[in-house]
Structure 1
Amino acid sequence: MASCLISSISEELKCSICLELLTNSMSIACGHNFCKDCILKHIQLSGGYSFPCPECRTVSVLKDLWPNQQLCKVVQSFKLLQSPLRRSLNQRKLRKTKFYEEITLDPKTAHPGIILSTDRKTMRGNGAWKKLHCDGEEYDRYCPVLATQSFKSGRHYWEVTVGNSSAWYIGLCENSVKRKGGVIPCSSTGYWLLSLIESCYLVCTIPRTKIPLTGKLYKVGIFLDYEMGDIVFYDVDRRCHIYTFTSSFLEPLIPIFSIGVNSEKENILSIDPVSDEAKETLEDAETSFRKEPSL
């Protein structure tokens, strides 16, 4: 979520007159802030001792205009931090592409309520099975399928399209986890998952952690750094971090995918390759990063 945070802070530190980062910040009575040159020109054009705020139209007078030295320091600090923060984000994006994995679904682990595509990249609910069964256990409501790949070292990245599916969870699990019965998926039971349940995005902690995403999540990137103990979820479309699990892994980890088979809507998950466009964007980011001078 760092890129979203940078963008949000940048918007808050912009002058609403010139739309650039504040320069020699000046505050007025209503609390809004502007570049010194911008607000002085605005006052001059207003043609009098009093003037309306360019944002809220509240009337201020010249004595209400004062230099905001603290905000000036904040803006200057943000400018100094902005460059290394962006380089850090570029490094993370490059790292994701460099360690991209071809993930396929293992038909031996597929529940009867799931149909896999012939390339073993897509899973969907089995309508015929759904008509015959109405099982209330979580394992059967959220039918999991494991990947054929497992990881016991290194860094690995893959992307999953959840699309318009109304019930799913994705992530990783330990090789030895219990997948049936009364197990509660969480890190202490060997599961590191992001899920959509009843229109809420949750990570499987105890208690569950709700993720306040704005808008719908269509494609999720998953990054595993085994030695560092990190499992990171990304919103691919918005290029934002969602959540990071940090644990100590003691056995191989397997990508796991699940959809709700008893939902009214059809649920589909697809494991996607990293697009050529995304790779080109990351290559451009790498070039920019290498050219950018260090601070």
Structure 2
Amino acid sequence: MAVVRCAAVRLCPLAGRAVTFVSAAHSRRTVGLSARRGYVFTTTGSNLQFRLDERTAHSSLDLFKKDTGVIYRILGLDPSKVQDNPERFRDWAVVFGDEKIGGGRHYWEVTVRKSQEFRLGVAEASMSRDDCVGTDSSSWVFGYAQRKWFAMTSNKIVPVMLVGKPDRVGILLDYEAGLLGLVDVENPRIIHNFKAKFNAPLCPAFGLWDGELLTHSGLEEPEGLK
């Protein structure tokens, strides 16, 4: 008989519901220190490619499809059973991409159709692992919860007027221009954008409390956005 123990309970700030992570008999891919990837530092603007970084993934998240996808497991691992790493998010279901972006113009897409509660965007690579993306001044995200889109940074939420929920969305980052945009991939246009002053290396950032997300990088920026 598996022993199930409560590991952590945190409140998702927008959805207003408790998220409980528990340990159970559950298989998770473990990666030895020698096999782990370090961040790749990117300053150019062409065809950014990244995978999700297992070192940063909260214990409720599993990576799949060669670390391009992430799935939320409500029966996650007890954090004490996950390999200790100072880069891992401890309280929130967050994972970073394995790129540090210090300049340039970059574009990637995310398939979101299998999740009803998530956040997508960028965060400073040095962001506190005790915070959630969107709640501090070092992260900028677009999210979906309670069937509504929003933009969030510094714990401030701005509704995004997007009708329905597409299967896939794009993220456009222009580091020097201080632009982060949510992109309609069917009819390429920026739906909503942040204007910020980026002063530190950024990583693609993802929060997930339901279902799964699949990332698509190495893409050309759609012509309609240039």
TM over 0.5: yes
Q: 1:216 to 1:128 in 2, by over 3 A?
A: same
The amino acid that maps onto 1:230 is: L
Change (3 A) 1:101 1:128: same
Matched, 1:191 2:139: yes
Partner of 2:114, secondary structure, is coil
Per the normalisation by structure 1, the TM-score is 0.51
Compared CA separation, residues 214 and 274, structure 1 to 2 (3 A): farther
Task: Give ranges in structure 1 of 5+ residues lacking alignment.
Answer: 1-97, 134-138, 290-295
1: CA distance, partners of 2:74 / 2:102 = 36
Equivalent in the alignment of 2:175: 226
Alpha-carbon distance in 1 for matches of 2:213, 2:91: 15
Aligned structure 1 segments of 4 or more residues deviating by more than 6 angstroms: none
Q: Does 1:235 align with 2:149?
A: no
- Which residue matches 1:247? 196
Task: Pick the aligned partner of 1:112 from 45, 51, 59.
Answer: 59
Query: Do residues 171 (structure 1) and 118 (structure 2) align?
Result: no
Q: How many residues align?
A: 171
Once residues 140 and 218 of structure 1 are traced to their aligned partners in structure 2, the CA distance between those partners, rounded to angstroms, is 29
Aligned counterpart, 2:93:
143
Between Structure 1 and Structure 2, the one with more strand by share is 2
Change (3 A) 1:151 1:124: same
**Cα RMSD over matched residues?**
2.9
1:218-272, CA deviations, whole angstroms, 9 ceiling, x for partnerless residues?
2121111111111111021242322111111111011101210xx5xxx110012
| Unaligned stretches of 5+ residues in structure 2 | 1-44, 80-88
Greater Rg, structure 1 or structure 2? 1
Sort the Cα spacing of 1:140 and 1:240 in 2 relative to 1 into closer, same or farther, 3 A: farther
Partner Cα separation in structure 1 for residue 112 and residue 60 of structure 2: 18
Instruction: Give 2:64's aligned amino acid.
Output: S
Counterpart in 2 of 1:217?
A: 166
Query: Which whole-Å CA distance do the structure 2 matches of 1:110 and 1:155 have between them?
Result: 26
Percent sequence identity over matched residues? 26
Distance 1:257 1:151 in 2: 15
> Of 58, 68, 71, which residue of structure 2 is paired with 1:124?
71
Q: Which has the higher contact order (CA 8 A, sep 6+)?
A: 2
- 1:195–1:105: structure 2 CA closer, same or farther, 3 Å change rule? same
* 1:96-140 CA distance string (max 9 Å, x none): xx733212000011111111015100000225328x89xxxxx77
